C-alpha cells in the first residue's frame, strides 16, 4: 500500500511500539552482521515508521554507539569483520551510519574514515609484535629472559584478536627491545644472502672437483 492505508499504518505503529531492542541487538543488525531484512532496517527506512518512537530510540542508540567508537574505539575483531564485508554489507553500513545519521543530525558521518584511522593503529601494533617475534626467533633463541618477552607478546596477541584497539598497550619490555629489533631485523636478509652465497660457492666447488 506504500503507506496509503491509514489503518495499516496505525497498526504498524502500535506493533512497533511493543518492540524492545537493546544496544547489542542494534549493533549486531547495523554493523556486525548487516542485512536488509531485519526489523531495525525496516524501522529506519520504511516511511510508515518515520514517526515511530522506536525509530527515535534506535537513532539515539546509534548516536551513542558512534560516540563510543570515537572515544573508546573499535574492537580488533570488528575491524577484521569490516575488512571481510561483502559489497552489499558495506552499502548497508554506509546507508545506516553515513547517510541516515547525516540526514538526521545534519552532520557528516564517515564510518570508513573512522575505521581506517583505527585500522592503521591496529596494524602498527601488529607490526611491533611481529618485529619483536622475529628478533627473538633469529637473535635471541637462547636468551635467559626470552620467556618474559614471549609472555608479553602472547598477551598482545590475545588483545589484538578481540580487544579495543586503543586500549591495547605495548608493554615497556617490548618498547625497550623495539629499537634493537629495528636495527637487527634488516640484517637478517643480509645474513640469509651471505649464507646462500656461501652454500652456493661450496656447491660449485664440490662439483668442480
Tell me what the mean pLDDT of segment 76-97 comes to: 95
Global pTM reads 0.76
Which phi and psi angles does 34 have, rounded to 5°?
A: -75, 125
The percentage of residues in the chain with a pLDDT greater than 70, rounded to a whole number, is 81
Question: What pLDDT does 37 receive?
Answer: 93
The percentage of residues in the chain with a pLDDT greater than 90, rounded to a whole number, is 56
Q: Where is average pLDDT lowest: 6-20, 59-73, 90-104, 151-165? A: 6-20
Q: Where is average pLDDT lowest: 13-22, 49-58, 71-80? A: 13-22
d(CA 4, CA 48): 9
pLDDT digits (tens, 9 = 90+) for 112-160: 999 999 999 999 999 999 999 988 988 888 888 889 999 999 999 999 9
Tell me what the mean pLDDT of segment 62-69 comes to: 95
Query: Is residue 207 scored above 50 in pLDDT?
Result: no
Distances (CA, A) of 146 to 134, 138, 186: 12, 12, 20
Calculate helix-pair angle for 53-71, 6-17, nearest 10 degrees.
50
Produce one character per residue of 162-197: b if its CB has 16 or more CB atoms within 10 Å, e if not: ebbbeebeebeebeebeeebeebbeeeeeeeeeeee
**Which of the pair, 50 or 149, is modelled with greater confidence?**
149
Query: Is residue 111 scored above 70 in pLDDT?
Result: yes
**Which of the pair, 186 or 83, is modelled with greater confidence?**
83
Tell me what the mean pLDDT of segment 89-102 comes to: 96
Tell me what the mean pLDDT of segment 183-208 comes to: 63
Tell me what the mean pLDDT of segment 63-92 comes to: 94
Question: What pLDDT does 87 receive?
Answer: 96
Amino acid at each position: 500500500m506504500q503507506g496509503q492505508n491509514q489503518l495499516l499504518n496505525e497498526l504498524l505503529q502500535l506493533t512497533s511500539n511493543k518492540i524492545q531492542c537493546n544496544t547489542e541487538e542494534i549493533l549486531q543488525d547495523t554493523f556486525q552482521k548487516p542485512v536488509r531484512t531485519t526489523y531495525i532496517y525496516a524501522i529506519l527506512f520504511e516511511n510508515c515508521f518515520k514517526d515511530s518512537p522506536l525509530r527515535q530510540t534506535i537513532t539515539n542508540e546509534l548516536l551513542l554507539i558512534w560516540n563510543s567508537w570515537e572515544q573508546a574505539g573499535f574492537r580488533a575483531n570488528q575491524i577484521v569483520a569490516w575488512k571481510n564485508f561483502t559489497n552489499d554489507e558495506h552499502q548497508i553500513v554506509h546507508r545506516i551510519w553515513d547517510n541516515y545519521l547525516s540526514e538526521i543530525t545534519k552532520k557528516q558521518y564517515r564510518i570508513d574514515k573512522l575505521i581506517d584511522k583505527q585500522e592503521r593503529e591496529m596494524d602498527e601494533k601488529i607490526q611491533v609484535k611481529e618485529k619483536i617475534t622475529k628478533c627473538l626467533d633469529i637473535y635471541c633463541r637462547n636468551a635467559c629472559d626470552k620467556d618474559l618477552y614471549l609472555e608479553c607478546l602472547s598477551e598482545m596477541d590475545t588483545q589484538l584478536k578481540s580487544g579495543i584497539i586503543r586500549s591495547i598497550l605495548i608493554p615497556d619490555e617490548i618498547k625497550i627491545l623495539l629499537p634493537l629489533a629495528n636495527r637487527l631485523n634488516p640484517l637478517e636478509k643480509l645474513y640469509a644472502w651471505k649464507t646462500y652465497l656461501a652454500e652456493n660457492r661450496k656447491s660449485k666447488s664440490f662439483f668442480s672437483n
